[in-house]
Amino acid sequence: MPDEKKPAFAGNITADDVAAEAGVSRWTVNRAFRKDASISSKSLEKVRIAAERLGYVPDLRAASLASDRSNLVALLIDDFANPHKLVMMERLTRILRREGWDILLVNTLDRADAGHALLNASQRRVDAVILIGIQFDDDVLDTALHARRFRKLIIFARTSRNPNTISIAVDDVHAMREIANYVHERGYRRPMFLAGPRTSSAHLLRKETFVDYWRQHFGSEPETVAVSAYDPELAAKVVETTLSARKKASLPDILVCENDALAIGATDVIRHKLGLRIPEDIAITGFDDVPQAEGANYRLTTYRQPLTDMAEYLVEVLDSREDRDFDRLFRGKLTVRESA
């Protein structure tokens, strides 16, 4: 009695095998695995059973090839030093997966590499590219968009003025004004703004907004300092070299940081290297509300982005077949803690 049962090893079970097993045609089998399928519950059941027995799962490569929809999006990141990225990835992967989207994770190694990263994604024929990094200049975006290798290029958590790009972000202007008002209300008068890297395209309007608003409404011109990456360690170095030489009287009374990554680095160095108290000697605000901002060590006053709402809107955008302007700004929430 040679090979009574099929080999348990599923060399490659295709829809044809399942069709034979279930006594239907291949197309019926495939239909059973599509949600919009028009199929009788009877044959659906037959197919399910046969597929189960054979261990069949549809091949998404083939499906994608035939249908020209991959249900795959590329997620391009570069600044892995920013702890907020972990939060964003968690939220995006969770929600995208729930809605049937898979994610190709691409590490954009450096600015020169952005083009390669995009090309990489295009070879997999992703339906969209999501940028949550920082090193994307307009020329790279334009090249990518010109080649039209993907239908949608989404800049997440960052506003962009590029008209061919979809930007889903928090309303930086509104947020920064709220922070400025709060800072002033609490009695701070000599703010210093700690900014991140400037890129020509995907830009944060936080620094500009804060500085302009403060000047217009409260008279004085805030100092500003820039860090070349959203990296706590780098921020710490910059803050140290900027502040350590100063006399106590000429120190700012508050450090308004472009995001929590910078604020965290600043906090550490202010406390441990400069030996100052927060908020008594210098107060600090951040932006993003990363998990550790809430912890006992930082208790950071910051601004929370509505990431879940943003991710859900992102899915909407991905699913949409329209060709309208998808840009959208969200309102976040000022979260007050003890740091300012």
The site for a copy of itself (CB under 8 A) is made up of: 8-10, 12, 55, 57-62, 64-65, 68, 70, 72, 75, 80-81, 83, 85-87, 89-90, 93-94, 97, 102-107, 109, 119-120, 122-125, 146-149, 232-233, 236, 264-265, 267-269, 271-273, 291-292, 294-297
One character per residue 44-83, x = contact with DNA (rule: CB under 7 A):
------------x-xx--xx-xxxx---------------
Nearest Cα to 179, choosing from 306, 274, 287, 280?
287
> Which is it for the CA torsion 35, 38, 40, 45, positive or negative?
negative
Cβ contacts of 98 within 8 Å, gap of 6 or more: none
39 binds, options DNA, a copy of itself, none, Cβ within 5 to 8 A by partner type: DNA
CB-nearer residue toward a copy of itself: 37 or 147: 147
Length of the chain: 340
111 binds, options DNA, a copy of itself, none, Cβ within 5 to 8 A by partner type: none
How many whole angstroms separate alpha carbon 171 and alpha carbon 330? 6
CB-nearer residue toward DNA: 122 or 335: 122
Structure tokens at 129: 């590219």
Minimum separation from the CB atom of position 66 to DNA (A): 3
CB-nearer residue toward a copy of itself: 122 or 199: 122
CB-nearer residue toward a copy of itself: 45 or 338: 338
How many whole angstroms separate alpha carbon 53 and alpha carbon 292? 48
DSSP 8-state secondary structure symbol assigned to residue 295: S
Minimum separation from the CB atom of position 135 to a copy of itself (A): 14
> If you search the block for the tokens 């010109």, which residue do you land on?
146
Using alpha carbons only, what angle is made at residue 302 by residues 168 and 331, rounded to the nearest 5 degrees?
35
Contacts to DNA from residues 20-49, by CB under 7 A: 24-28, 30-31, 33-34, 38-43
How many whole angstroms separate alpha carbon 206 and alpha carbon 193? 9
Name the pairing type of β-strands 328-330 and 166-170: parallel
- Residues of this chain that interact with DNA (CB under 7 A) are 12, 14-16, 24-28, 30-31, 33-34, 38-43, 56, 58-59, 62-63, 65-68
